[in-house]
Structure formats: structure tokens, C-alpha cells
């Protein structure tokens, strides 16, 4: 696998194969969103992709950063609020010495049906901060598009 934990789609596939009837007879009104599925250990709630929560995967997980974003035809920039030290006296981008590398920022990016969302990953502006990310997974992309599933991870320097 090569990752810290099993990917959501892998776990979903295993549950589909080995536990297809685990939630038979439970609430048929449960409508798991965003590719979620009934949790075989608690059939009254959905097992949700990373970053999503709620009974039916209808909301983002709480985090100290992130949020909802509507994609447009103009490039938009997402930044970790903790990564860069805003108290710096000069105009350079400095790495915040108290930055917690274990922070997870959750963003839900939406676009009109039929649109494509493009990502460009960078390691900071005018700084050496990228070195802390070179071997870190910094991006998970998940889609609930009807025609395909994407469970893609990316690192700095990749174009997705």
C-alpha cells in the first residue's frame, strides 16, 4: 500500500466484497453522500470519505482550517493558516516555528456539473519551507463524480 493507512476506496471495496449484507434490514432512508456507505459496525450511520462527517457524510469534519470553496475560471490560492508566520517583521515568507505538521485542513471544492477542477501544488513563495513537505503527503483528492472515482494523493511539485 505504501501509505500510513488504508485508502477509503480500498476499505469500501473490501466491505462490499466481504460484508455485502451487513446492513440488510436497517434504515433504508439512510442516504450516504459523497461515496460514503453504511458502516457495517453501526448501520445507522455512514462510513464517510476522509474529511467528511455527519450521519450521511453531508458536512466537512471540523478542523482549524479549511472550508467551502466554489471553483471559478480564475486561479485561487489555499494556504494553511499556521504554516507561515504572519508576525514576521519583513515581507519574506517565514516558516512558523510553532507549526504543527499534524494539522489537517479540510476543503470542499465544488464546481458546476461538467466542470473540471485543476490543482497546482507549490511549496511556498520565496521560501525554503517546501523541504518540510517534500516527503509528506499534502493532498488527498476525492470525487463523487458519477462516471469515475478518484482517490488521488499528491505531493509538492506534482500537477494534478
> Which residues span the domain enclosing 149?
63-160
Q: Is the model's pLDDT at 143 over the cut of 80?
A: no
In 3D space, the residue among 146, 143, 77 whose CA is nearest the CA of residue 105 turns out to be: 77
Give the model's pLDDT for residue 136: 44
For 134, phi and psi rounded to 5 degrees? -50, -35
Asked whether residue 143 falls in the same domain as residue 107, the answer is yes
Whole-number Å distance between alpha carbons of 12 and 60: 19
In the chain, the percentage of residues whose pLDDT exceeds 90 is 12
Centre a 10 Å sphere on the Cβ of residue 109 and count the other Cβ atoms it contains.
Answer: 14
Asked whether residue 9 falls in the same domain as residue 49, the answer is yes
Give the model's pLDDT for residue 130: 42
Asked whether residue 67 falls in the same domain as residue 17, the answer is no
Backbone CA torsion sign across 70, 76, 81, 82: positive
- Among residues 62, 78, 103, which one ends one of the domains? 62
Give the model's pLDDT for residue 126: 42
pLDDT in tens, 9-66: 889 999 989 988 888 887 678 899 888 999 999 999 999 988 889 999 998 888 777 7
pLDDT in tens, 80-103: 655 555 554 444 455 555 666 667
Q: Is the model's pLDDT at 128 over the cut of 50?
A: no
Asked whether residue 67 falls in the same domain as residue 54, the answer is no
- Among residues 35, 62, 89, which one ends one of the domains? 62
Give the model's pLDDT for residue 7: 82
Give the model's pLDDT for residue 18: 92
Asked whether residue 77 falls in the same domain as residue 25, the answer is no
Q: Is the model's pLDDT at 129 over the cut of 60?
A: no
38's CB contacts (< 8 A; 6+ apart) are 22, 23, 26, 30, 32, 45, 46, 47
Asked whether residue 126 falls in the same domain as residue 71, the answer is yes
Q: Is the model's pLDDT at 131 over the cut of 90?
A: no
pTM over 0.75: no
Give the model's pLDDT for residue 134: 40
Taking residues 137-141, what's their average pLDDT? 54
Amino acid at each position: 500500500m505504501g501509505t500510513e493507512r488504508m485508502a477509503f476506496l480500498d476499505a469500501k471495496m473490501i466491505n462490499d466484497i466481504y460484508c455485502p449484507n451487513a446492513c440488510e434490514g436497517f434504515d433504508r432512508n439512510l442516504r450516504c453522500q459523497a461515496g460514503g456507505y453504511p458502516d457495517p459496525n453501526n448501520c445507522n450511520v455512514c462510513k464517510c470519505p476522509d474529511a467528511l462527517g455527519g450521519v450521511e457524510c453531508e458536512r466537512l469534519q471540523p478542523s482549524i482550517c479549511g472550508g467551502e470553496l466554489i471553483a471559478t475560471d480564475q486561479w485561487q490560492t489555499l494556504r494553511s493558516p499556521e504554516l507561515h508566520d504572519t508576525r514576521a517583521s519583513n515581507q519574506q515568507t517565514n516558516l512558523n516555528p510553532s507549526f504543527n505538521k499534524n494539522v489537517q485542513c479540510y476543503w470542499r471544492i465544488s464546481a458546476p456539473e461538467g466542470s473540471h477542477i485543476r490543482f497546482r501544488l507549490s511549496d511556498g513563495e520565496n521560501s525554503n519551507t517546501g523541504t518540510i513537505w517534500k516527503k509528506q503527503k499534502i493532498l488527498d483528492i476525492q470525487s463523487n463524480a458519477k462516471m469515475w472515482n478518484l482517490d488521488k494523493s499528491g505531493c509538492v511539485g506534482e500537477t494534478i
